[in-house]
């Protein structure tokens, strides 16, 4: 009876080690923002499976880093909460970027809204999507008329910045990777910021 219990315990530990050590660890690194959209403040929650070097930044729609909470800081595995105050942030889209070590990056979009009306405007803007995504060469922006386009990489470096009345835009000059694309009106009002994945 005792031997049977030991065997069951050993099997359970082995199964848990296999499940959490193999399967779970591949998807356990996480990043979330709540509430989102937010007005006064929001909580950035992230979890890491194993001890690693962590960088956590808030990036605006122009690709500029506006907050750095952690910068190459070694943290043990676990869950963490960081409060982002919105009082000094203008309304619009922001990206929370979590770098885990030198190989993994997780991005989350957070929207700052000062009022209910701006919230509904933001939701309306988010209803149009740049396509195809992913793409290999061209993207279509389903918006008629003149607009400004800014393309930045994940490090915040501006790669393209121009105005056009065209809906089809070439990305042939960009290397494969992820990019933030921001669309603005003639009055420099941000319509949307979206992440585009480009393949070779």
What is d(CA 38, CA 51) in angstroms, rounded to the nearest whole number? 30
pLDDT digits (tens, 9 = 90+) for 147-188: 889 888 877 778 888 999 998 999 999 998 888 888 888 777
Task: Tell me phi and psi for residue 133, to 5 degrees.
Answer: -145, 110
Reported confidence tier of residue 3, pLDDT bands at 50, 70, 90: low
Residue 19, pLDDT > 50, answer no
Nearest in space to 135 (alpha carbons), one of 163, 167, 176: 176
What is d(CA 151, CA 144) in angstroms, rounded to the nearest whole number? 19
pLDDT digits (tens, 9 = 90+) for 41-81: 888 888 888 889 999 999 888 888 988 999 988 888 888 88
pLDDT digits (tens, 9 = 90+) for 79-111: 888 888 887 888 888 999 999 988 888 888 888
Tell me, what's the pLDDT at 120? 35
Task: Tell me how far CA of residue 193 lies from CA of 61, 122, 128, 161, in angstroms.
Answer: 6, 11, 11, 14
Residue 131, pLDDT > 60, answer yes
Tell me, what's the pLDDT at 189? 77
Reported confidence tier of residue 16, pLDDT bands at 50, 70, 90: very low
Residue 124, pLDDT > 50, answer no
Residue 14, pLDDT > 80, answer no
Residue 121, pLDDT > 50, answer no
Tell me, what's the pLDDT at 127? 54
In the block, residue with structure tokens 């490090």: 155
pLDDT: is 189 or 137 the higher one? 137
Tell me, what's the pLDDT at 57? 93
Tell me, what's the pLDDT at 97? 92
Dihedral sign computed on CA atoms, order 148, 32, 104, 56: positive
Task: Tell me phi and psi for residue 190, to 5 degrees.
Answer: -75, 125
What is d(CA 105, CA 3) in angstroms, rounded to the nearest whole number? 46
| Domains recognised in the chain with CATH numbers | 29-114 (2.60.40.1930), 128-198 (2.60.40.10)
Tell me, what's the pLDDT at 56? 93
Tell me, what's the pLDDT at 17? 38
Tell me, what's the pLDDT at 55? 92
CA dihedral 82, 86, 91, 93 (to 10 degrees): -10
């Amino acid at each position: 009876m005792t031997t049977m219990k030991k065997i069951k315990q050993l099997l359970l530990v082995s199964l848990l080690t296999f499940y959490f050590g193999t399967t779970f660890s591949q998807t356990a690194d996480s990043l979330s923002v709540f509430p989102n959209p937010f007005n006064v403040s929001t909580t950035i929650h992230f979890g890491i499976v194993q001890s690693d070097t962590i960088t956590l930044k808030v990036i605006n729609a122009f690709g500029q880093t506006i907050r750095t909470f952690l910068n190459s800081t070694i943290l043990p595995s676990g869950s963490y909460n960081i409060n982002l105050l919105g009082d000094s942030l203008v309304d619009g889209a922001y990206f929370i970027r979590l770098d885990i070590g030198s190989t993994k990056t997780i991005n989350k979009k957070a929207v700052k809204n000062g009022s209910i009306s701006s919230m509904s405007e933001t939701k309306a803007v988010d209803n149009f999507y740049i396509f195809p995504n992913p793409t290999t060469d061209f993207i279509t922006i389903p918006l008629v008329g003149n607009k400004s386009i800014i393309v930045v990489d994940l490090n915040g470096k501006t790669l393209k910045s121009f105005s056009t009345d065209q809906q089809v835009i070439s990305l042939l000059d960009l290397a494969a990777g992820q990019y933030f694309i921001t669309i603005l009106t003639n009055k420099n009002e941000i319509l949307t910021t979206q992440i585009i994945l480009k393949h070779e």
